[in-house]
């Protein structure tokens, strides 16, 4: 039995779809959800629905009983994620889970030195907790999701241009669906025990290159400006952008400027059996 956590989220939904595409019988897949109401589509596919919450240890132990392989999708609640991740790992151990595939994030500097340390710290700790648990594992160090690029670019990117303090830093962003497909590959093939895989796009691009590609797609000039981080934050505040978004956009941009989002690795292509979708292909689909 394979259990996917965060099963009604976009990554979890893609992972379950990919498992079924790889001929895993739906009755051999379980989906961990907090509310059965949101799992109607999965239930219709024949997937087992398990009710559980990362904050509720006992619900996790119960949900994990009889599970051989666990696709552990990292939590999205930054403030409570550390405690939640401990619950998942400890519950998996108590329930006798044999294998954990964990969705981490690419890392080429230590968390303490990272511009996105708030994200990397928990990932780094969780990877170690999984290794210390004695459960066999695969760490999936995913690149930044390509499909959140429009959020960084802004709603009026064609008219207003790109404004981010990312300098000339590059990112190997990749589609969430392709990362989920790679996870399904790991869960359905052998040779991945106790391995760590960076999963990134084949190409790394700058925001200037993205601006150039958008200009070509739209037939009009799209500019890219990279202000200092404090200037950027002031501009966003003057435009009434919520503080949460200001912090997130600034941190990831600075991380890109520092080279933290760039990593050369072709493991994802090997797992997919094809080249990942390029940024240009994605932009063409979204902005044509």
Q: What is the pLDDT of residues 22-78, one digit of tens each?
A: 999 999 999 999 888 888 888 889 999 999 999 999 999 999 999 999 999 999 887
Span 119-138, average pLDDT: 96
- Euclidean distance between CA atoms 160 and 199, whole angstroms: 32
Q: Where are the beta strands (DSSP E) in 28-144?
A: 29-33, 48-51, 69-72, 99-105, 136-142
Sheet with 48-51, edge to edge strand ranges: 48-51, 29-33, 2-4, 69-72, 99-105, 136-142, 195-199
**Which domains are seen in the chain, by residue range?**
2-141+175-199+264-272 (3.40.50.720)
Flag whether pLDDT at 106 surpasses 90: yes
Cα–Cα distance list, 71 to 92, 203, 237 (Å): 11, 27, 39
- Of the candidates 128, 120, 260, the one whose C-alpha atom is nearest the C-alpha of residue 204 is 260
Structure tokens at 67: 């599970």
Instruction: Give the pLDDT of residue 230.
Output: 96
> How confident is the model over 274-279, as a mean pLDDT?
97
CA-CA distance, 48 to 1, in Å (whole number)?
A: 10
CB burial class (10 A; 0-12, 13-18, 19+) of residue 192?
Answer: buried
The pLDDT value given to residue 79? 79
Burial of 242 (0-12, 13-18, 19+ CB in 10 A): exposed
Contact 276, 178 (CB under 8 A): yes
Q: What DSSP character marks residue 147?
A: G
- List Cβ<8 Å contacts ≥24 apart for 39-45: 39/7, 39/8, 42/7, 42/8, 42/13, 42/16, 45/16, 45/20
Residue appearing with tokens 């109607």? 40
Half-sphere exposure of 96 (CA within 13 A, CB side): 5
pLDDT tens digits along 169-227 = 999 999 999 999 999 999 999 999 999 999 999 999 999 999 999 999 999 999 999 99
pLDDT band at 160 (very low <50, low <70, confident <90, very high): very high
> How far is the C-alpha of 256 from the C-alpha of 187, rounded, in Å?
31
**221: which 2 tokens?**
């000039």
Mean of the per-residue pLDDT values of the chain: 95
Quick check: 89 pLDDT over 90? yes
Mean pLDDT of 127-137: 97
Burial class of residue 199 (count of CB atoms within 10 Å of its CB; 0-12, 13-18, 19+):
buried
Among residues 222, 198, 194, 200, the alpha carbon closest in space to that of 278 is found at: 200
* Whole-number pLDDT of residue 121: 94
Which pLDDT belongs to residue 7?
A: 92
Give dist(CA 28, CA 272) in Å, integer: 22
């Amino acid at each position: 039995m394979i259990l996917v956590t965060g099963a009604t989220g976009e990554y979890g939904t893609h992972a379950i779809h990919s498992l079924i595409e790889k001929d895993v019988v739906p009755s051999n897949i379980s989906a961990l959800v907090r509310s059965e109401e949101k799992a109607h589509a999965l239930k219709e596919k024949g997937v087992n629905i398990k009710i559980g919450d990362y904050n509720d240890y006992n619900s996790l132990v119960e949900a994990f009983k009889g599970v051989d392989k666990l696709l552990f999708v990292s939590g999205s609640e930054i403030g409570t994620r550390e405690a939640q991740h401990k619950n998942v790992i400890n519950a998996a151990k108590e329930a006798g889970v044999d294998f954990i595939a964990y969705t981490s994030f690419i890392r080429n500097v230590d968390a303490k030195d990272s511009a996105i340390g708030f994200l990397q710290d928990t990932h780094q700790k969780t990877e170690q907790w999984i290794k210390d648990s004695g459960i066999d594992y695969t760490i999936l160090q995913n690149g930044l999701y390509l499909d959140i690029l429009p959020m960084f670019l802004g709603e009026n990117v064609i008219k207003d241009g790109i404004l981010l303090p990312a300098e000339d830093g590059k990112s190997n962003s990749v589609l969430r669906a392709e990362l989920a497909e790679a996870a399904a590959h790991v869960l359905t093939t052998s040779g991945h025990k106790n391995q760590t895989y960076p999963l990134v796009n084949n190409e790394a691009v700058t925001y200037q290159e993205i601006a150039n590609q958008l200009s070509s797609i739209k037939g009009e000039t799209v500019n890219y400006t990279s202000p200092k981080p404090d200037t950027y934050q002031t501009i966003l505040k003057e435009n009434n952008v919520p503080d949460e978004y200001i912090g997130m956009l600034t941190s990831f941009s600075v991380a890109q400027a520092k080279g933290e989002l760039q990593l050369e690795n072709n493991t994802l292509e090997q797992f997919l059996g094809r080249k990942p979708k390029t940024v240009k292909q994605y932009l063409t689909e979204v902005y044509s």
